[in-house]
Amino acid sequence: MRDVLLKLLPEFDLLEDADLREKALQCWELALTEGGWAPEALLAMPFTLLINPCPANFIEHVRGVTLTALRAAEVFQQIYGERLPVQRDILIAGGLLHDIGKLLEYTRNAEGKIVQSYGGKLLRHPFSGAALAARIGLPIEVQHIIATHAGEGDKGHRSTEATLINHADFMHFHSLLRQAGG
């Protein structure tokens, strides 16, 4: 499973902290196992159920959000330097894991269609994803990114890293929604 994950998500190699990388991979493995997904199945999983048909798969979305946020952080470093620091590894781990709860929120129905699970209706992916990250022992900063990256985080505090992931996520969502005619 791990070899396939590393091939699908080469951004794991961007993580410099070996312990953080290991825990992020463990979180993916836990979510895949508990959700009943094979890594390859994520290439056919829509990144959202709100765009039908969805023009991007789950893996493309995770990679796109991670890399978009990372590029923005590089601009922050270039322009603002230490006046606006970004914890690079926390940002990358948060990007790779921001939607990890969708592996529990989504399921296949009897016809094989990907739909929201019963548990996903009760606990959307920011909640289930943060819980998965906590179980693995990921840093609270990564849990925070997962918990606040979507609308659930709009009323509270977001770290710089969480703000970058939130905006990257919605840049991708809204651009693909418009492209799909929404």
Could you report the per-residue pLDDT of 123-165, keeping only the tens digit for each? 999 999 999 999 999 999 999 999 999 988 999 999 999 999 9
DSSP string, 86-150: --HHHHHHHHHHTTTTHHHHEEE-TTS-EEE-HHHHHS-HHHHHHHHHHHHT--HHHHHHHHHSS
SS3 call for 4: helix
- In the structure, how many helices (H) and strands (E) does the chain have? 9, 2
User: Which domains can be identified in the chain, with CATH numbers?
Assistant: 2-179 (1.10.3210)
Between the alpha carbon of residue 81 and those of residues 28, 70, 72, 94, 155, the distances in Å are: 32, 15, 13, 21, 28
Q: Is this model's pTM higher than 0.85 or not?
A: yes
Could you report the per-residue pLDDT of 7-49, keeping only the tens digit for each? 999 999 999 999 999 999 999 999 999 999 999 999 999 999 9
